[in-house]
Structure 1
Amino acid sequence: IVPHTIRGFLSRYSTVLPTGEAFSQCVACSPTVRKAFEDEGFTFLLKVFNDLDYLENLTGLRAMQLATDLSEIIELSDDEEI
């Protein structure tokens, strides 16, 4: 379980760190990303900075997005009832 966001509340001057199960294809903390950084160091960072799709391709996130069956997604407009 890892925190992925920090939520702040100015009215209470407080923060909350919601936690959840780590996503295996996270572009920030997945084992694939950490290993690539450990192995390649600054070269890895250059790849990330110069290629917008590098992390998505490295982690398999892009392949997962492409594999989504769009026909299974139900689109509702504002005037439709559920």
Structure 2
Amino acid sequence: MTEVPDFAEVVAFTRAAEAFDWMNRAACAGRRSQFFSDRDVDKLAAFVICLRCPVCQPCARWRDRTQPKHGIWAGAVASTRTSN
């Protein structure tokens, strides 16, 4: 018999899914290779994509909270981001 999750579990799961919903709407969705490349041409293309992205602000908040060591997030590469 399948166990039914309680209401708190459902709410927690829903909030977690909504917190990352912006990633599905990002202009970079499906373009991982450009955002994790060392090639200047790929980085430039990634920056252009970030400029027109509808979810740049949530991406920047996520970047600032998690401090990823690799990739371009909200138009910034790890080497240009300041550490707290």
TM range (shorter): under 0.3
**What's the TM-score, normalizing by structure 2?**
0.23
Question: Which structure is higher in RCO with an 8 Å CA cutoff and minimum separation 6?
Answer: 2
Structure with max Cα Rg: 1
The structure with the largest strand share of the pair is 1
The structure with the largest helix share of the pair is 2
**What's the TM-score, normalizing by structure 1?**
0.23
